[in-house]
Structure 1
């Protein structure tokens, strides 16, 4: 067992900085298939009313179905993903979200934010009840609007945050002093508490930077209420038991278009 799989290392990373990563988790061929899938899904979503949600200028989020991705099972069943989830969220964790962000050329700096308000279990109980895994679909370069995070801020008091998510600007110097920009390569995976203050930065390149998001909850966290995870009965029957037991989803005869329920930056920055 490498250090990345050790419970102490996992807990130390998520409860300390609020982010951890595993380089080379997947072969590059897997990541290339992911890029192809996300590019096709993005084109389709842009043509469908309500298919995307704006997360600031030139920036979209698209929620998708697990069976839209050729590599979903490999992601959900990856030993590191499972180790992280079991260590932080417990053995009965639930996968509640699959989607992707696309910061396009011209995307601007987002405001520092959390992805949702801190739950009582966290701000009173000091317990993390959800995680967000990110998998880049491209090799990230400095001009492509890298993800930026302020380590350790998942515990910050949000009494004066707008909507419980957006800190006032007089806090920005704290985050900028801590800020770390992440530039993963295809095949890398990271995990973070979505409560750790972060932002997407300006994409000054001529390339989009699509990144997959896998949302996972501890029992009772209820983030599934912001999402609509669906799988068809036929697809569900093909899944290994180790994936089935962690999917908090609707089983349907035919996949339905997802109506995005979780607008974040649109509250502050408008449509894309």
Structure 2
């Protein structure tokens, strides 16, 4: 089957926001039924994992303080990783032509999706401290792009994201391991910088936050309100060399490099 190159997608405002701030929000990117389908599938996987069923290659990172017997799978899960290759529902999201058009405009004609995670943020869950996603990506080049799709409302009361506009221009900062005893595995915190000028990003279901891998961002503890859920994909240039094993001594359990664009055409 011959596929045609994807048309240009970014608006002038989005281009300016990307260059100046390191992120932009496209409102109403995904439909309600699409968000519901992603939610339902994530819940299905979370419940299967709690029941002892294999969901490989996907795996669940549980929310330490909520991981209690008797709770539903989605109430015990923090994140589900490695969804984009083999699960048809999440693969469709990763290869959505509208999303790939955005990535082509930012990354160029040849693009891979290398990471996917569904995020559950239940009442009682801890927020993730200030960090840069690029901290987790020891690659041979700096530009990776995250696509954060709001599955439920990310409102003032349910741990929305905060971002630091313009911080995408900074190098990857050293970060310390999150010192909280019940912090989920892998949480780190930037402590060598003030976060003056940070902005809260409020989103409705279907809104899409596109952000630079160096952009500093966080979420707060979810103390009240409804569950906040999101689906996140990360993309990079296809020629990117993943040096995780070389630098950390073992490959990342999360990264799975999958080609999605060649010469700006879907693969």
TM-score normalised over the length of structure 1: 0.68
Structure 2 residue corresponding to 1:32, chosen from 36, 48, 51: 36
CA separation of 1:76 and 1:143: change in aligned 2, threshold 3 A: same
**RMSD, aligned α-carbons:** 3.3
Structure 2 residue corresponding to 1:82, chosen from 100, 124, 135: 100
Deviation, structure 1 residue 135: 0.9
CA separation of 1:119 and 1:203: change in aligned 2, threshold 3 A: same
Structure 1 residue corresponding to 2:134, chosen from 109, 116, 119: 116
Q: Say whether 1:14 aligns with 2:18.
A: yes
Q: What 5-or-longer segments of structure 1 have no aligned partner? A: 123-127, 246-272
Aligned residues: 222
Cα deviations across residues 201-240 of structure 1 (Å, max 9, x unaligned)? 1112253212101111113334596335499xxxx9xxxx
Structure 1 residue corresponding to 2:59, chosen from 51, 56, 78: 51
Structure 1: distance between partners of 2:211 and 2:202: 15
Q: Say whether 1:95 aligns with 2:113.
A: yes
- The structure that is strand-richer by fraction is 2
CA separation of 1:120 and 1:95: change in aligned 2, threshold 3 A: closer
Partner of 1:5: 10
Partner of 2:239: 220
Structure 2: distance between partners of 1:162 and 1:213: 23
CA separation of 1:65 and 1:242: change in aligned 2, threshold 3 A: farther
Structure 2: distance between partners of 1:133 and 1:222: 21
Could you tell me whether the CA contact under 8 Å between 1:140 and 1:185 is conserved in 2? yes
CA separation of 1:75 and 1:189: change in aligned 2, threshold 3 A: farther
SS in structure 2 opposite 1:99?
strand
Could you tell me whether the CA contact under 8 Å between 2:150 and 2:229 is conserved in 1? yes
Q: Say whether 1:167 aligns with 2:171.
A: no
Q: Say whether 1:70 aligns with 2:92.
A: no
Partner of 2:158: 144
Could you tell me whether the CA contact under 8 Å between 2:143 and 2:213 is conserved in 1? no
Q: What 5-or-longer segments of structure 2 have no aligned partner? A: 1-7, 67-76, 178-187, 245-250
SS in structure 1 opposite 2:41?
helix
Partner of 1:198: 217
Deviation, structure 1 residue 55: 6.9
TM-score normalised over the length of structure 2: 0.69
CA separation of 1:180 and 1:4: change in aligned 2, threshold 3 A: farther
Deviation, structure 1 residue 242: 4.4
| Mean Cα deviation higher: 135-144 or 152-161 | 152-161
SS in structure 2 opposite 1:52?
strand
Could you tell me whether the CA contact under 8 Å between 2:134 and 2:144 is conserved in 1? no
